[in-house]
Amino acid sequence: EADAVVLPGVGAFGACMDALRAARLEDEVHRAVASGRPFLGICVGMQMLFDASDEDPHAAGLGILPGTVRWISAELPRPQMQWNQLRIEPQHADDPMFDGLGATPWVYFVHSLHGVPADPEAVAATCSYGGVVNAAFRSDNLFATQFHPEKSGEAGLGLLANFVRVATAVRS
């Protein structure tokens, strides 16, 4: 019955999927996304929305975002634990989640993998770290980030405030 839903996650893909299923929340996540309510996935919470992950090939994801979570380049240290600048994809420049963040906001990452959706149009923002890293995703009412908005200072707080505004507008 929530107006909006956030799926956070820190840790390993397989362990997080096991915990979600043990808590009997898998169907609830599917219902929440299907309801049209604003839905935000963060870090491993974003990764769990995909079909599968290279981190744990035996663990099935939620299959909400078709695609696979892949390792980022090994050319630079993994995990990427640092601030990095987002490049908002042109087709998502008007997304209300990016309102007021500027063209290239700085956000904080702690990860070794990133989502690679079957539909490249779902990529809302990228960053550069040993190559292109998919950093944010949009699919209808679903928005998801590989970075941690809660650790991303002003830009992250702005993104979370935008999520609340979107949820409030849908509720009204």
Residue 109 and residue 84 in contact, taking contact as beta carbons nearer than 8 Å:
yes
**Known active-site residue 148:** yes
Catalytic residue among 16, 43, 111, 127: 43
* Selected catalytic residue, list 1, 75, 148, 154: 148
41: left (phi over 0), alpha (psi -120 to 50) or beta: beta
Q: 43 an active-site residue?
A: yes
Residue 16 is among the residues annotated as catalytic for this protein? no
Strand residue runs (E) in the chain: 5-7, 39-42, 50-53, 65-71, 80-85, 87-88, 106-111, 113-117, 123-128, 132-139, 142-145
Just list the catalytic residues. Answer: 43, 148, 150
